[in-house]
Structure 1
C-alpha cells in the first residue's frame, strides 16, 4: 500500500467551564502532563513523519509552546488560531495542508487515542477515502419529542469518536462550503459533497475529557 504524507489537525479550543476550572481542559494535569501532551504524543508515536497542526485560541499559544518543548524531534508542528466554531477552527487548520495527504482531525481532549487506532484510520482512509472511528452504544436510548418519547433500537446507532480521517482531496474541497449549523463534525461536511463515510472500529478507552469524572477515568486507564 502506498504511503502518503500524514497531517494531524488537533483542535484544542475548549474552555474549563464544564470542568469548573479556570484552566482550559486541554491543559489540565493528567498523570503529570497536560491532557494535550498525551494527545500530541499519540500521533508523534504513531508515525515518525507525522505533521501536527495545533488549532487553539491565540490566548493559549504560550501554554501550547511550553507543551511543545517536549516534542523537539517531531517532523513539523504548526500553531494555528482557532475560529468561531469547530468548523471554522478545522478550516483554519486545513490551510496548513498542502499536497496529497491523509488528514486526521482529532479532539485535543481525547488524550487516550492509541497509535493502533491512528494506524487503523490511516490504512482505512487510503482504501476508502475516509475513516471515522465508532463504538457501540451500551445504554438503552429513547427518542424524545415535545409530546412523547419512544424507545429506539440502539443497534441502529453508533457513538462517534476522533480522529476523523480523510484523504486531502475529500476534506479540503468540503471545507470550502459555507458553514452550516447542521455540520456537527467533519464527516457531515464531507458527506455534504456526496461522499460515502466509512466507519472503522473505535476504542472504548478513547474518551473525551469534558467533566471532572472523565479526568479521573483517564488517569485510571493510564495507570493500567
Structure 2
C-alpha cells in the first residue's frame, strides 16, 4: 500500500516575535523544516513526500536549500488560505488511486521513525491514526462567564501530528466546505463521519511555536 506524507508549513513567526517564518528558524544550525523533512525521509526513502508552503515563501526556501546544501526529494506545493486548503492542495498532487497519507506539522522536527511507522500500521488496519499524549497538568474548564470547574484530565488527550488516514477517506472528507472548527485533519475526517483512532505519541514530539520552544528544541537536539 503506497504511503505518502504532506508536510504543512504555513507559520508566520508572529508568536515567535520574529520576521522569519518559524519553519525557517534554525535549530542546531539547520532550519526547523529541514529537520522535519529529514525525519520523514529517514523513515522511508520511498515515501512520497509533499511540502506545502505559502507561494510567497518559495524563494526564501530555495535560497535556504542552496545555502545549506539541502537536497532531499519532495514535491513543493503552493499552500492555501487556511491549513484545510493547504492540505487540499497537497492531496490534489497525490496521483496514487489508493494508499495511506500522513499529514504533519512542519515545526514538529522531533517526530521519530518509530512513531511514523506505528501510525501507518494503525491507519492500514483501522483507517485512521492520530498521535496524541496524555495531559500532565490538572485541567479546569472555563465557561464564557468566567465560572470554572475541575475536569478529569484522564479523559483528555493533547493531539499531535502525524495524523494518518486512508487516502480515499481523506479525499472524500476534504471535498467538504471549510468550517472554522477544522483545526486539524482529524476534525475534518470526523465531520465526514469517519472514526478517529488515537495512537500514542511522544512528549518530545513538540510543536515549535514560541521562543521558549526554540530553547527546548536545542536541548532535545543535543540529547538525540
Q: Which TM bucket (shorter chain)?
A: over 0.9
Q: Which residue does the alignment assign to 2:90?
A: 93
Aligned twin of 2:6: 9
Q: Give the secondary-structure state (helix, strand or coil) at the position aligned to 2:161.
A: coil
Partner of 2:181: 182
Q: Which residue of 1 aligns with 2:156?
A: 157
Query: Greater shift after overlay, 84-93 or 56-65?
Result: 56-65
RMSD: 1.3
Partner of 1:141: 139
Structure 1 counterpart of 2:112: 114
Corresponding position of 1:128: 126
Can you give the 5+ residue segments of structure 2 that lack an aligned partner in the other structure? none
Give TM-score scaled by structure 2 length: 0.94
The 3 A distance-change label for structure 1 pair 68 and 78 is: farther
Give the Å deviation of 1:64: 2.5
**Cross-structure match for 1:194:** 193
**Residues 1:53 and 2:50 aligned together:** yes
CA gap 1:180/1:129 in 2 versus in 1, 3 angstroms: same
Structure 1 residue 72 displacement after superposition: 3.6
> Which residue of the partner structure matches residue 43 of structure 1?
40
The structural deviation recorded for 1:65 is 2.7
19 and 101 in structure 1: CA distance in 2 versus 1, 3 angstrom threshold: same
When residues 73 and 58 of structure 1 are mapped into structure 2, their CA distance, relative to the original with a 3 A threshold, is closer
User: Which residue of the other structure, out of 24, 28, 39, is the alignment partner of 1:27?
Assistant: 24
Q: Which runs of 4+ in 1 moved over 6 A?
A: none
Q: Which segments of 5 or more consecutive residues in structure 1 lack a partner in the other structure?
A: none
Q: Is the 8 A contact 1:19 1:25 kept in 2?
A: yes
1:222 counterpart SS class: helix
The Cα shift of 1:68 comes to 4.9
Name the TM-score, length of structure 1 as normaliser: 0.94
- Cα distance in 2 for partners of 1:17, 1:71 equals 26
Residues 49-103 of structure 1 deviation map (CA, whole Å, 9 limit, x = unaligned): 11111111111112323455655463xx111111111111111111111221210
Change (3 A) 1:66 1:127: farther
Check conservation: 2:38, 2:72, Cα contact below 8 A: no
Asked whether the 8 Å contact 2:34–2:70 carries over to 1, the reply is no
Distance 2:35 2:47 in 1: 15
Aligned residue for 1:105, secondary structure, equals strand
Query: d(CA) in 1 for partners of 2:30 and 2:219?
Result: 14
